[in-house]
């Protein structure tokens, strides 16, 4: 039985920062960001968006038109959680009017959370073939103003419906995983911003990639139509891509490079969205490469600091082109409003200064859909 991604959608906030402006404000050569890190812009979340509203805005379209009673599992993957105890998935369930008989929980392992959710959802559908799962990967990446990680921030969410006979891609059960306790990137409970051992985290990402990729190609064919990566910033994914190219048939390198460039296009404009980054890359490739076809095998490297590396493949199925709303995704990126550095810094402060007190949040988005209104009696509205 084929199980995998039946529907997928992406949502990002309505604001962005141009990294040339950030470079100027931080007295850095813009080429460090544009060429050195291969990033162009980053989406910025206003105070009226959080990981739940981002996920709900992404998920709204994927649940439209399906029988809500079929959704038996909801998994909310994030590393920008709004609560230490209660799951973001329960808010989603209410906002999207999903069935109360669904199993509903949050999952965490840094940027690997989205893949952990995907694999768990596939296992669920394999044992409950008449059911579907909703998974969301949703994050606001924050390192802090004037930090080395600042340029690698971002905000957004990807939502997917996982089912049997999927419209977009079947998930092959060929994962090669490596996990080990390391301190490359983390966010202790008392911190609003992540802590990164930046250069060590780069080394570990590449080391984990080599380990799982070599193991994978020792056991499986390397007949990839494309290779996709977790994209904390595009240069690191490109370094992993080049390592992969040394180990596969040289005649496919040119095609893989063309597709790699298409796969990072949206990530270069949105920035790091942690759990959702690799799935944004998948969307970026599918909506921009008309030459992809049914049966193509895509290799994916998912990485979550702390750390877990997982290399696996997916196979594109019958209706993958028609099942992604390209127009809405492209327009969403175009419609974003460019922020000045002062506005961005103000947004950043407002996001991080929301405390558990009675507040109502000034409306920044034009959304008709979901926004965070504030806190009343310790309850987020």
User: Which residues would be at the binding site for ligand CAA (CB under 6 A)?
Assistant: 29, 31-32, 35-37, 111, 143, 148-149, 151-152, 184-185, 196, 198-199, 201-202, 205, 230, 232-233, 235-236, 272, 274, 303, 305
Distance CA 196, CA 191 (A): 12
Residue 13, helix vs strand vs coil? coil
- Our CB check for ligand CAA shows the closer of 167 and 281 to be 281
Tell me the closest approach of the beta carbon of residue 66 to ligand CAA, in angstroms: 31
Tell me the closest approach of the beta carbon of residue 112 to ligand CAA, in angstroms: 9
Tell me the closest approach of the beta carbon of residue 131 to ligand CAA, in angstroms: 31
- Per annotation, catalytic residue among 109, 122, 176, 230: 230
Distance CA 228, CA 199 (A): 22
- Our CB check for ligand CAA shows the closer of 167 and 267 to be 267
Tell me the closest approach of the beta carbon of residue 297 to ligand CAA, in angstroms: 24
Distance CA 203, CA 253 (A): 24
Chain position whose Cβ is nearest to ligand CAA:
36
- Per annotation, catalytic residue among 106, 109, 111, 122: 111
Tokens of 102: 């669904």
- Our CB check for ligand CAA shows the closer of 111 and 361 to be 111
- Our CB check for ligand CAA shows the closer of 272 and 323 to be 272
Distance CA 15, CA 337 (A): 5
CA angle (11 as vertex; 6, 13 as ends), nearest 5: 175
Tell me the closest approach of the beta carbon of residue 240 to ligand CAA, in angstroms: 10
Distance CA 372, CA 359 (A): 11
Q: Which helix (H) or strand (E) holds 187?
A: none
Tokens of 284: 């970026």
Active site residue 245: no
- Residue by residue, DSSP assigns 215-267 as HHHHHS----SEEEE--SSHHHHHHHHHHHHHTS-GGGHHHHHHHHHHHHHHH
- Our CB check for ligand CAA shows the closer of 107 and 134 to be 107
Tell me the closest approach of the beta carbon of residue 202 to ligand CAA, in angstroms: 5
Distance CA 74, CA 323 (A): 21
Q: Which residues, 6 or more positions from 35, have their beta carbon under 8 angstroms from its beta carbon?
A: none
Active site residue 128: no
CB 365 within 8 A of CB 371: yes
Active site residue 111: yes
Give the torsion through C-alpha atoms of 201, 202, 204, 205, to 10 deg: 110
- Our CB check for ligand CAA shows the closer of 71 and 276 to be 276
Best CA proximity match to 276, nearest among 181, 172, 136: 136
Active site residues: 79, 111, 230
């Amino acid at each position: 039985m084929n199980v995998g991604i039946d529907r997928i959608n992406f949502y990002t906030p309505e604001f962005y920062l141009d990294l040339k402006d950030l470079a100027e404000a931080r007295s850095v050569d813009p080429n460090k960001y544009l060429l050195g890190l291969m990033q162009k812009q980053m989406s910025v979340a206003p105070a009226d968006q959080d990981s739940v509203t981002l996920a709900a805005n992404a998920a709204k379209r994927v649940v439209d038109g399906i029988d809500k009673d079929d959704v038996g599992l909801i998994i909310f993957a994030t590393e920008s959680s709004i609560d230490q105890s209660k799951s973001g998935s329960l808010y989603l369930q209410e906002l999207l009017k999903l069935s109360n008989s669904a199993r509903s929980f949050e999952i965490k392992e840094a940027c690997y959370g989205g893949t952990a959710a995907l694999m768990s959802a596939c296992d669920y559908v394999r044992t409950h073939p008449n059911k579907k799962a909703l998974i969301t990967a949703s994050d606001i990446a924050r390192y802090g103003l004037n930090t080395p990680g600042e340029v690698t921030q971002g905000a957004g969410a990807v939502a997917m419906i996982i089912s049997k006979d999927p419209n977009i891609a079947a998930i092959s059960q060929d994962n090669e995983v490596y996990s080990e306790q390391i301190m490359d990137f983390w966010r202790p409970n008392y911190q609003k911003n992540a802590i990164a051992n930046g250069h060590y985290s780069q080394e570990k990402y590449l080391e984990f990639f080599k380990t799982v990729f070599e193991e994978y190609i020792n056991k499986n064919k390397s007949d990839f139509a494309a290779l996709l990566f977790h994209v904390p910033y595009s240069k690191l994914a490109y370094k992993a891509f080049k390592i992969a190219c040394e180990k596969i048939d040289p005649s496919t390198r040119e095609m893989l490079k063309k597709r790699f460039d298409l796969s990072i296009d949206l990530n270069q404009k949105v920035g790091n969205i942690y759990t959702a980054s690799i799935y944004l890359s998948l969307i970026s490739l599918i909506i921009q490469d008309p030459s992809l076809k049914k049966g193509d095998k895509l290799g994916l490297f998912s990485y979550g600091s702390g750390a877990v590396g997982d290399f696996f493949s997916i196979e594109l199925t019958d209706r993958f082109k028609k099942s992604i709303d390209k127009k809405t995704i492209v327009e969403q990126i175009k419609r974003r409003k460019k922020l000045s550095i002062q506005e961005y810094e103000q947004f950043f402060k407002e996001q991080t200064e929301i405390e558990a007190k009675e507040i109502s949040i000034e409306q920044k988005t034009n959304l008709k859909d979901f926004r965070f209104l504030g806190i009343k009696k310790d309850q987020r509205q």
